[in-house]
Amino acid sequence: MSGGEPRVSVVVIVFNDARRIADAVHSALDQGEAVGEVLVVDDASTDATPAILARLAENHPRIRVITREVNSGGCGTPRNEGIAAARERYVTLLDSDDVLPPDAARTLLDAATAHRADVVAGVAVRRELPAGPDTPWQRELYPADGAAPLLLPDGIGERPAFLRDTLSAGKLYDRSFLERSGVRFAEGDVHYEDFLFTALVYAARPRLVAIAEPVYHWHVRRAAGRQSISLRRDEIRNWRDRVDAHAETVRVLEKAGEPELAAAAGTKFLDYDLRMYVRELGTRTSATAPSGGGSPGSTWAASTPRCSPPPSRPDAGSRR
């Protein structure tokens, strides 16, 4: 850990994303002195990513690269390794196809130190590429523009609607809080890993501060050859994974002695997630159905989306 005032470790995960990883890393470096290090975990990339990271690390002493020899199949394992290796007091997360907006780290850090927060949550902006629009994620949960931060000193019990914010990114975590609370991502080939991680965070009743400022740009590329996980709602596995993640969320909250939050999580599933998949049915056409006489279940289940796919799938897409 660096001496003096607290700083931030930015943990970036990447797999076969040579086209975009430099933009993500530079967005973290451009945060200035608030960022003490940029820790990049390469989940066994087979494209030009390792060479790009080597050049970046050679030119920027704040960059450290951890290279995994075997692909994990998901986001959780590389994120856990990055958090465990971090040296600064605070940590924030970044995916290789997203970026941090200017001053995001300083804004989060100032809120954390001013309010002695375990967790600071800022606004994540879904940016549809290439031409927009920009949509703030769950904006109604956060203070209005220009308003004072919202302090929840005993967790989200008085604001259970916060369960709708299931993103692990766009937040700053005190590493000591994560360690003493046992908060980790699920390891291996697990999708919707953010659901369980944020459930563990909320179950630990952190001193949480919500701020109005945008702190994360979540890039959505609907024209990509392989969609991110949250956009693959025509795949049976996607539905199973989301249901499993929600069931685990409820179990975590019940085990933590938070029955009201567990009930709120169940309500959130019915009001939001289930409706989202039902709406998707109206967009399906005969062109979506599998050819060759196979059932939709057998064909779609065989398409197994991964957060960071194994080397046998070098063309697969990105994380969420």
CB atoms within 10 A of CB 21: 26
CB 41 within 8 A of CB 68: yes
DSSP β-bridge partners for residue 177: none
Residue 311 lies in a domain: no
pLDDT of 106 reads 98
Q: Is there a single domain that holds both residue 206 and residue 280?
A: no
Give residue for tokens 């943990």.
Answer: 11
Q: What's the chain's average pLDDT?
A: 86
State the CATH number of the domain containing residue 130: 3.90.550.10
The total of structural domains in the chain comes to 2
290 in a domain, yes or no? no
Same domain, 206 and 239: no
Write down the pLDDT at residue 285: 52
pLDDT of residue 71: 97
What SS3 string covers 265-316? HHHHHHHHHHHHHHHHHCCCCHHHCCCCCCCHHHHHHHCCCCCCCCCCCCCC
Q: pTM value?
A: 0.85
Claim to verify: residue 58 and residue 13 sit in the same structural domain: yes
Residues of the chain with pLDDT under 50: 225-227, 229-233, 286-306, 308-320
The three state secondary structure string of 11-22 is EEEECCCCCCHH
C-alpha separations of 214 from 77, 101, 218 in Å: 27, 7, 11
Query: pLDDT value at position 238?
Result: 81
Say if residue 137 is in the same domain as residue 268: no
Closest CA to 120 of 173, 166, 158, 169: 173
pLDDT at 99: 98
Domain of residue 68 covers 8-220
